[in-house]
Amino acid sequence: MQKIMVIGYYGDENKYVGAIRPKSLSDFLRIHGYQSIFFHNAEGVGGLFARVLWFVRLLIFSLRFKPDTVVISIGPYWYFVLLSIFFKVRSVSVIIDVRDGWSCNISDQGLRRLFRLRLALMMERVAYLLCDHYVVVTPGLKDYYSFIFKTSNKIEIIMNGHSINSVAGSILNKKHLIFAIFGKYAEYGSHAEVTTEKLKKVMEQHASKGLEIWLIGCSSLTVQLLERYGMASFLKIYNRMPYDQAINILKNASVGVCAVRDQKTEFGTKIFDYIGCGLPVFDSFDTESNVHHMFSDYLLSDFSDDSSFFRVSNSIRENAYKYHRNFFYKKFLDIID
């Protein structure tokens, strides 16, 4: 039986969305006959000392466990090159699993940005040379890293997906329209602004309906953004809660709303959650974006025509299973074997 060690710094999937993919992948591999362990930081994020202690514990554990393959989930990014070197020296197969690109998302300005960008590019190139497979979650990220590395031989696309096993499908209430925003939103900058502006226009056009915007596990930045656009009276705020509880609330909404940091390289994870809940996704994306290319049948922009809502909702019900994590994770079985 092959031994697989899935490494992710974040461990609590109810607190950190970054924990969901490595944990669910380890569970998937175990179901498929591998001796899989998810090694994470159970104590939380912590400071420098906590990170060093976690890293030492990881190395000691790996020497005892003796994995055949390691899957290194990033971000965060501070450990992936060191681990790649350590495991490559020990002749362990290394899979880098990039949930979020590093160099393509550096937002600093001036000399600080230049320094961080060069550091990130150097470390990404070293990791690519050392690893056996470099997994990314969108076609846009594959295009980006193919350009950076001047090759795509090791790059594989394995998308995120949702973990929801039963899809009821959104129900149109002609007198009540509920938009749901789940998790991070305002943090994604300009696209969140564009999305909010489009959302405001839709709500103005349909003011006769009972309109609500549910904020589920969102930060105060998102509340402030929507208030700035004059939508404070529509807000219903749910504090952060376990993922399963949030999903049960989401299923009762009408439409899911999300924003992404970079439309060229990202889908975000929330679009999969919305599809898994049977919700049409509010269309605020550029027509040339990754999202439009992959999810155009599930995007909704016309709220005056009921037939558009039913068409999108039915398409989601029929195809949501194709976007389940386990459907995508099957490709991990191919590259591990």
The pLDDT tens digits for 36-63 are 999 988 766 678 888 899 999 999 999 9
Can you read off the two tokens belonging to residue 219?
């930060």
Cα-Cα-Cα-Cα dihedral sign, residues 289, 312, 190, 266: negative
What pLDDT is attached to residue 276? 93
Residue 162 one-letter amino acid: H
What pLDDT is attached to residue 19? 82
- 121 close to 149: Cβ distance less than 8 angstroms: no
pLDDT band at 322 (very low <50, low <70, confident <90, very high): very high
- 135 close to 310: Cβ distance less than 8 angstroms: no
What pLDDT is attached to residue 101? 87
Contacts of 172 (CB under 8 A, 6+ apart): 254, 306, 309, 310, 313
CA distance 268 to 138: 9
What pLDDT is attached to residue 173? 58
**Which spans in the chain are helix H?**
20-31, 48-65, 80-89, 110-130, 139-149, 190-205, 220-228, 243-250, 270-276, 290-295, 306-319, 325-336
What pLDDT is attached to residue 57? 94
Inform me whether the pLDDT recorded for 28 exceeds 60.
yes
Nearest to 256 by CA among 219, 285, 231: 285
Question: What's the N-to-C CA distance of the chain in angstroms?
Answer: 12
Mean pLDDT of all residues in the chain?
90
Cα-Cα-Cα-Cα dihedral sign, residues 269, 274, 278, 282: negative
Inform me whether the pLDDT recorded for 73 exceeds 80.
yes
Residue whose entry in the numeric block shows the structure tokens 């129900």: 171
Residue 264: φ, ψ to 5°:
-80, -30
HSE-CB of 136 using CA atoms within 13 angstroms: 22
Inform me whether the pLDDT recorded for 69 exceeds 80.
yes
SS3 182: strand
What pLDDT is attached to residue 235? 96
Nearest to 10 by CA among 69, 62, 63, 50: 50
- 317 close to 16: Cβ distance less than 8 angstroms: no
- Mean of the pLDDT values across residues 249-259? 94
What pLDDT is attached to residue 170? 57
Can you read off the two tokens belonging to residue 181?
């925003």
What pLDDT is attached to residue 50? 85
Inform me whether the pLDDT recorded for 264 exceeds 90.
no
CA distance 124 to 118: 10
- State the CB neighbour count (10 A cutoff) for residue 198: 15
SS3 335: helix
For the chain, domains (ranges, CATH) are 3-158 (3.40.50.2000), 176-322 (3.40.50.2000)
- Mean of the pLDDT values across residues 312-330? 92
The listed range with the strongest mean pLDDT (1-15, 84-98, 168-182) is 84-98
- Mean of the pLDDT values across residues 300-319? 86
The pLDDT tens digits for 179-235 are 999 999 999 989 999 999 999 999 888 876 788 999 999 999 999 999 999 999 999
pLDDT band at 168 (very low <50, low <70, confident <90, very high): low
- 222 close to 186: Cβ distance less than 8 angstroms: yes
- Mean of the pLDDT values across residues 295-307? 87
What pLDDT is attached to residue 175? 65
SS3 28: helix
What pLDDT is attached to residue 47? 80
- Mean of the pLDDT values across residues 223-249? 93
pTM attached to this predicted model = 0.90
